[in-house]
Amino acid sequence: MSDGFPSALRTLETSIVSVDGVSYAAVTPDGMAVLARPEQLNAFEGSASECDGKRLLVGHRSAANLEALRSALSWLRPQPLGLRTSVGFGDRLGVATPGHIAAMRCDGVGISPIFAQQSIREMDRTRRAPREVMDDATWAVFCSGWREPFGADADHLKTEEDVRRCLRVGYTLWTIDPGDHVDSIADTATADQLKEKFEQLPWSELADSPEASLRRYRDRSFGIEHHQLVMNEISAVRAAVKYGRAVAHTHTLVSLIRSDLGSDGWELEVAIDETDQVTSHLEHIYIVLELQRLGVKITGFAPRYLGEFEKGTDYIGDLDAFEDHVALHAAIARQLGPYKLSLHSGSDKFSIFAAAARQTRGIVHLKTAGTSYVEALRTVASLDPSLFREIYAFARAQYESARRGYHISARLERTPPPEDIPDAELPALLEQPDARQVLHVTYGQVLTAEDASGRGLFRERLRSALQAAPEAYAARLEAHFARHLAPFARWSSGSDQ
């Protein structure tokens, strides 16, 4: 017996733990066991039997049992991470967290992870629920024996309905994306157009007036470390026109979160990275000061940076210009906060990681999502070439429709036909930029594809292939994320700064 569990149970050694006289363990392939006094089992569901004077309950990895585990074991509950250097690990299939944990154990010294993270758009495209995302991460944390703090990100929420879907699940980081309310015309609008738009802003929602706004910002100088930034009347009006509605919408969503969760136990990130226009440094100042005026405190901010952050590829742009650009954003974040700068679409942006970590002095959050899915495909290309070939052919057929809503440069004609690639060369296809992007952005179609009878074509086959060889996928993710984590680990402190 191990910690009192019968040897006939296939318990996972890394999961076994005893707290207050109760023992818990994961049971392969997908169950759990609790050994306790009868009254200590009330929150769990399953079949109970006598075992050496205690009751042994064996049940499935159900939502109710996972909630009971989170209640019993404090380290399974996500926590706010504050200003710690942090990395978000997206998991579109629900089986990547063991690999993320392996990477953190080897290469994430001083970094705090966010294991439960999926944008509302990804949840819709993969037909996953917010609680499913949380439960998959919880199970992996339990099975692996991870005991360090980790966060959970309700990511890129755009609407009140998005927020409501994620309440009461246990998310500790709420990423609000008001990008749909950013005025894309403001950068090129004439003075007369700006004046008209300025007068039409939702001033009551902003608890403000045109006159008061101008008094605050017109001809105002901001000393940011060794920089002096001056906002004149036209730049003040332009910033308000461009981002005023986004500020008002953010305040609305934050008020909804507060009304349910209160003011403690969670933190806020504001993301405007998925807009077409670069966020200037003066606009950064305007957004944060306006949020602060409305009583909104942020832990993270993701502006639209200089250059291109395409999915599945490295950064595209002038590296020196990017470093200068992010250096001033980081200085603003230190002075007006401090709060973290957040790098979204951060998968595989290896060329800028060192600069971002250096200029933020480790007060930074890296957010990744699709790279874990792509590495799952790379793993399957080795394990089951036939399945991968099917997925690749399907992705190529879906690419033109899937790419809508993404700013990417992959061209289908530059991707090799699946029949031209020998099995042994399939994993290397993920190094070809066009093929990688095609596979990256078609995840929704792949994971929800069905045959004529309504049966899924790929999702369960993918999960089964990965779960049949979990060490292979975990090793792939560990190696891949070593490159992501190392530049940030050098600057991280692992504690609130």
Which are the catalytic amino acids?
Answer: 155, 269
Per the CB < 8 A criterion, the answer to whether 141 and 101 are in contact is yes
DSSP state string for 19-73:
ETTEEEEEETTTEEEEEE-GGGGTT--SEEEEETTEEEEEEES-HHHHHHHHHH-
- Read off the tokens for 308: 């291109």
DSSP designation for 420 = G
Name the nearest CA neighbour of 12 among 151, 141, 150: 141
Dig out the tokens for 235 from the structure: 């730049």
What's the rounded Cα separation, in Å, for the pair 179 and 250?
10
According to DSSP, the residues that pair with 173 across neighbouring strands are: 153, 267
| Alpha carbons 352 and 362: distance in angstroms, whole number | 14
Contact 80, 151 (CB under 8 A): yes
Residues in the chain: 497
Burial class for 132, CB neighbours closer than 10 Å (0-12, 13-18, 19+): middle
Nearest to 149, CA basis, from 387, 432, 494: 494
Four-residue CA torsion sign, 196, 197, 198, 199: positive
Distances (CA, A) of 347 to 103, 164, 269, 365: 15, 28, 18, 12
Residue 450 in 3-state DSSP? strand
Longest CA–CA span in the chain (Å) reads 83
Tokens 């906002």 locate to 231
Neighbours of 200 (CB within 10 A): 12
